[in-house]
Amino acid sequence: QTILKRMGELHLEIIVDRMKREFKVEANVGAPQVAYRETISQVFDEDYTHKKQSGGSGQYAHIVGRIEPMPEDSPEPFVFEEKIVGGRIPKNFIPSIEKGLRESIIKGPVAEYPVVQTKVVVEDGSYHDVDSSDRAFQTCARDCFRIMFPEAKPVLLEPIMKLEIEVPETFQGTVTGDLISRRGLINSSEMKDRTAQLIADVPLAETFGYATDLRSMTQGQGTFTMELACYRKVPASIQEEIVAEKKKQ
C-alpha cells in the first residue's frame, strides 16, 4: 500500500489520474483519509522508573518531568527541554531521552496520529552505574510519554480549509445552508455583478465530494478554491467516532 498525501480530494484525484494516463499504472484507490493530529489540553507531571533484570546487566532509568501544551502558533510541533542539575542524569543520556520522546510523537497514543503543540520538560531523575544505558533511557522516555499523554486530556485536531466560493445570486442561500451543515463558519459574504462571493472555514473531513455537490446545487455554475487555514480541536462527539473507527482498523 502506498499513501498519497495532498491538500485535498481534488489534488488526490489529479495524481491518480496522472498515474493512469501518463504512467499506465492501475491501482485500487481507497477513500480519502483526513490527516488528523493529536495534542494535549493540560499539564501533567510524572515520576517514572524503568527497571528490568534478566540475568547479567539489567536496565535502569528514572525520569521525573512533565508534559504541557504549547500555543497553536508554535513554530515547532514538539519541544524537549531538560532542567537537570547536579548530574542526576549524566549529560550523555539526555539525547537518548529526547530520541525516545521524538519516536513517541510519530504515532500518538489516542489514535496513532502525529503529536503536535506539545512540550516535555525533564527536571530530575536518576541512573545506575552498571544498568543504565542509552537503550534504557530511550525505553524509559517512551513509556513515560505513553503514561503522561493520555493523562493530560488529549484532543484530536482536524485540518480546517479556507473555501472561497463564487455562485450566482439565486443559489447563495442554498450554498450557505450547505456550508453550515458541513460544520462550516462563514467569514464573509459579498455580492458583485449578481454573483455571491463567499469565504468560509470548513473542516476537511466535510469537504469530500464538495465539487460534485456544488455543481448540483448551482446547476453547474458554482466554482470554488480551497487551501489549508489551520488545525482546530475536533468536537468531542466526533472525536469519539474517529477513535472508535481507528481502533476497528
**CA 178 to the chain's CA centroid:** 26
Instruction: For residue range 102-153, list pLDDT tens digits in order.
Output: 999 999 999 999 999 999 999 999 999 999 999 999 999 999 999 999 999 9
Backbone angles phi and psi of 52, in degrees to 5:
-145, 130
pLDDT at 57 over 80: no
Q: In which band, very low, low, confident or very high, does the pLDDT at 22 lie, cut at 50, 70 and 90?
A: very high
In this prediction, what percent of the chain has a pLDDT beyond 90?
84
Q: Beta strands of the chain (E only): which ranges?
A: 37-40, 44-52, 59-69, 78-82, 118-126, 154-168, 185-192, 195-203, 223-233
pTM of the model: 0.87
Q: Mean pLDDT lowest for which of 5-14, 181-190, 191-200, 214-223?
A: 5-14
CB-CB contact of 158 with 36 (8 Å): yes
Instruction: For residue range 77-112, list pLDDT tens digits in order.
Output: 999 999 999 889 999 999 999 999 999 999 999 999
User: In whole angstroms, what is the distance from residue 212 CA to residue 217 CA?
Assistant: 9
Instruction: Give me 211's grid cell.
Output: 465539487
